[in-house]
Amino acid sequence: MITTLLSLALAAGAALQDTVRFTPTVQQPTFAVREPVLRVRPGTVLVSQTHFGDYYTEAGGAFPGEVGPILVEGATVNDILKIEIIRVHPNSKYAASNIRPTFGGLTTDARVRLLNDPTPTRRYLWVLDTLRMVGTTKLVGSSMPNISIDLQPMLGRLAVAPRGQEAFAGLWPGDFGGNMDAPELKPGTTVYLPIFHDGAYFYFGDGHARQGQGEVGGTGLETSMDVILKIDVVKGKTIDWPRLEDDRYIMVAGSARPLIDAFRLAHVELVEWLEEDYGFDRWDAYVLLGQVAESSVANIVDPIYTVVAKFPKRFLPPR
């Protein structure tokens, strides 16, 4: 299997000496400047996995933390961290989607705590067929005893250490990336993250075999993943919010609360991107967004919410 992974990594254009295999063992509960678990050079293809944990077994257990921090040598606060997501593939027999009283998008909010009765605590187990890439419920007696859905694996979390001495628990997204929970964080997407500390202190984790927009119930198909990422640095350029790119879109992931603020700042940074790199006048870009923008409400369940603003590449001028 690892051979296959390395083949994939090589296929991605990495020289053999730039490929690093890393099996995580330490759980990191916060995004912050901590002692690195690994050091890599720019251009490294990392073959790794998200943490295994009892959460993904049939019996259930604690949710494992993310992998990191990984120090990227030569990355400075004047640069951008560039992560190419090459592979995110479930390596567990199960995925779990749990609901509980104090979490989730359509129920009593743990931060607001309305005066009503809460959502029940329930554990939903999905059996994964990672060959056919299908997940199926295993819920005898429920209203969806054997529903099957096609898998679309992604990583909920890609992060650098936040600015200053701040340390955010793993549930937080932000301008440092973090728990963005965006379905767009899938193989084929390149993620650009701002850097707040020399070395970047890169984190990843929170594999979802699939997740709906909004992550409405509070969890996706949570499972562990084999992961291949190419870690690189764009020198001498800075950004304010995570930027994403795939074959079809340039995108910005804005995170804030209330939701409208996440929506606005993602779109404002998208306008700025169109100004800076593609020669648009600010107000022209603004009007054009009114016609062609797409967006994805990534999550409305984390401490702050994430919206991905998208501009279709086919409307970009030739560079």
Among 37, 133, 134, 216, binds a copy of itself (CB under 8 A): 216
DSSP helix/strand/coil, 220: coil
131: left (phi over 0), alpha (psi -120 to 50) or beta: alpha
| Per-residue contact flags (x/-) with a copy of itself for residues 182 to 211, judged by CB under 8 A | ----------------------------xx
Of 70 and 304, CB closest to a copy of itself:
304
End-to-end alpha carbon distance in the chain: 41
Residue from 181, 255, 172, 256 nearest 214 by CA: 181
Looking at 10, 38, 102, 124, which residue binds a copy of itself (CB under 8 A)? 124
Minimum distance from CB of 230 to a copy of itself (Å)? 28
The answer to whether 279 and 214 have CB atoms below 8 angstroms apart is: no
d(CA 30, CA 315): 39
Rule CB under 8 A: choose which of 144, 236, 318, 319 binds a copy of itself: 144
Q: Does 238 bind a copy of itself (CB under 8 A)?
A: no
25 binds a copy of itself (CB under 8 A): no
Residue 43 has φ and ψ, to the nearest 5°, of 95, -5
- The burial of 178, by beta-carbon neighbours within 10 Å (0-12 exposed, 13-18 middle, 19 or more buried), is given as buried
Choose among 67, 62, 107: nearest CA to 222.
62
Q: What string marks each residue from 252 to 291 as x (binds a copy of itself by CB under 8 A) or -?
A: ----xxxxxx-xxx-xxx-x-------xxxxxxxxxxxxx
Minimum CB distance to a copy of itself smaller for 86 or for 241: 241
Burial of 196 (0-12, 13-18, 19+ CB in 10 A): middle
**Total number of residues binding a copy of itself (CB under 8 A)?**
83
Check residue 293 for interaction with a copy of itself (CB under 8 A): yes
In the list 6, 133, 134, 139, the residue contacting a copy of itself (rule: CB under 8 A) is 139
**CB of 169 vs a copy of itself, minimal distance in Å:** 5
221 binds a copy of itself (CB under 8 A): yes
Q: How far is the CB of 18 from a copy of itself (least distance, A)?
A: 33
Are the beta carbons of 188 and 247 closer than 8 angstroms?
yes
Q: Which parts of 62-121 interact with a copy of itself (CB under 8 A)? A: 97, 99, 104-109, 111-120
Choosing from 39, 248, 294, 313, the residue that interacts with a copy of itself (CB under 8 A) is: 294
From the list 9, 20, 32, 45, which residue makes contact with a copy of itself (rule: CB under 8 A)?
Answer: 32
Question: Which lies closer to a copy of itself via its Cβ, residue 182 or residue 289?
Answer: 289
132 near a copy of itself, rule: CB under 8 A: no
Work out how close the CB of 49 gets to a copy of itself at its nearest, in angstroms, rounded to a whole number: 22
Which residue lies nearer to a copy of itself by CB, 25 or 143?
143
Task: Report yes or no: 204 and 49 within 8 Å, Cβ to Cβ.
Answer: no
DSSP 102-141: TBSTTS--TTT--SSPPPPPEEEEEEEETTTTEEEE--TT
Query: Residues of 250-262 as b/e, b for ≥16 C-beta within 10 angstroms?
Result: bbbbbbbeebeeb
